């Protein structure tokens, strides 16, 4: 048997604090066929974040130059900061048969899904808004005003759920990861990207 594969674009998004970053990290560790697409952003690095690994950190002038060159697959302003996905990086990887993971906000995800309808889109939900509030508070990366802004945005973001192919509630990490892995395994075997050839024995 001969197998050929076309890569898959996997978009994972949802409100801040739903644990999508943790799910993505675990997915990348467990599946070597998936590579992370590093987004560009104008926000400042958080403690421990590395330029070119977590994000391409840049100023507004650099971001504007890339916009003028039509270099982004999507771009959006979220929580007062600009984010964008570099088009060439995604397209080259998919054509080479590898899978690309985008961890992006719902604004950007809708843009990507519009331009690339075959995108495998997964929306991560918290079990409740009170659980989301507690997660944002205990992760100690944002000040109280930022937490309130992210909670307020979450209500609007959840309303975008209907545009995604899959919904996944992250109530507990292990079961949530198992469900995510099942989605990806099934999508890898869809005939739009998996082309097995069989022969006579």
Give domain limits for the chain.
2-197
pLDDT band at 176 (very low <50, low <70, confident <90, very high): very high
The contacts of residue 35 (CB under 8 Å, 6+ apart) are 28, 93, 98, 99, 100, 101
Domain 2-197: state its class.
alpha beta
Say what the pLDDT of residue 174 is: 97
pLDDT of residue 28: 94
- pLDDT for residue 25: 94
Using CA atoms of 56, 137, 142, 163 in order, give the dihedral in degrees to the nearest 10.
Answer: 50
The band of 22, judged by pLDDT with boundaries at 50, 70 and 90, is very high
Which residues share a beta bridge with 12?
Answer: 103, 122
What's the chain's average pLDDT? Answer: 91
pLDDT digits 0-9 by tens, 130-148: 999 888 888 767 778 888 8
Q: What digits encode the pLDDT tens for the residues 89-141?
A: 898 889 889 999 998 888 889 989 988 899 999 999 999 989 998 888 887 67
Residue 79 has pLDDT above 90, yes or no: no
134: nearest Cα among 159, 116, 154, 117: 154
Q: Does residue 201 carry a pLDDT above 80?
A: no
**CA proximity to 183, closest of 14, 27, 15:** 27
Q: Which of 31, 7, 184 minimizes the C-alpha distance to 97?
A: 7
Confidence check: pLDDT of 199 > 80 = yes
Sign of CA dihedral 88, 93, 94, 96: positive
Check: CB of residue 167 under 8 Å from CB of residue 14: no
Structure tokens of 176? 């949530």
* pLDDT over 90 (residue 170): yes
């Amino acid at each position: 048997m001969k197998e050929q594969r076309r890569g898959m674009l996997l978009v994972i998004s949802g409100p801040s604090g739903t644990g999508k970053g943790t799910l993505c990290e675990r997915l990348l560790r467990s599946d070597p066929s998936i590579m992370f697409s590093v987004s560009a952003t104008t926000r400042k690095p958080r403690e421990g974040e590395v330029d070119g690994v977590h994000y391409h950190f840049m100023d507004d002038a650099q971001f504007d130059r890339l916009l003028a060159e039509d270099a982004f697959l999507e771009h959006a302003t979220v929580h007062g900061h600009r984010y964008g996905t570099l088009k060439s990086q995604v397209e080259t990887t998919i054509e080479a048969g590898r899978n690309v993971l985008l961890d992006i906000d719902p604004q950007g995800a809708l843009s990507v899904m519009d331009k690339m309808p075959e995108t495998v889109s997964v929306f991560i939900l918290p079990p409740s808004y009170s659980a989301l509030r507690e997660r944002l508070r205990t992760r100690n990366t944002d000040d109280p005003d930022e937490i309130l802004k992210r909670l307020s945005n979450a209500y609007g973001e959840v309303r975008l759920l209907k545009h995604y192919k899959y919904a996944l509630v992250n109530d507990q990490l292990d079961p949530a990861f198992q469900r995510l892995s099942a989605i990806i395994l099934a999508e890898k075997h869809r005939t739009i990207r998996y082309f097995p050839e069989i022969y006579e024995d």
